[in-house]
Amino acid sequence: MKKDNTVELVETIFKVTRLMKDQMSFTNNLIHLSVLQIQTLVFLKQNTKTSMSDIAEYFHIELPSATSLVNKLCDQKLVKRSADQKDRRLVMITLTSTGKELLERAMSQRKKKLEKILFYLSSKEKLELLNIFKTLDAKLQKENEN
Contacts of 58 (CB under 8 A, 6+ apart): 43
User: What is the structure's pLDDT at 29?
Assistant: 52
The CA-atom distances, in angstroms, between 77 and each of 10, 72, 98 are 38, 9, 7
Please write the tens of the pLDDT for every residue from 63-120. Answer: 999 999 999 999 999 999 998 788 888 889 999 999 999 999 888 888 888 899 899 9
At 30, is the pLDDT very low, low, confident or very high (cuts 50, 70, 90)? very low
Q: What is the DSSP string of 112-127?
A: HHHHHHHTTS-HHHHH
Mean pLDDT computed over every residue of the chain: 89
User: What is the structure's pLDDT at 144?
Assistant: 84
Average pLDDT over residues 127-136: 95
15 pLDDT above the threshold of 90: yes
User: What is the structure's pLDDT at 131?
Assistant: 96
The CA-atom distances, in angstroms, between 87 and each of 51, 57, 81, 83, 139 are 12, 20, 14, 7, 39
* Domain 6-121, classified CATH 1.10.8.60, yes or no: no
Per the model's pLDDT, the better-predicted residue between 138 and 19 turns out to be: 138
Say which range, 1-5, 51-55, 58-62, 109-113, has the weakest mean pLDDT.
1-5
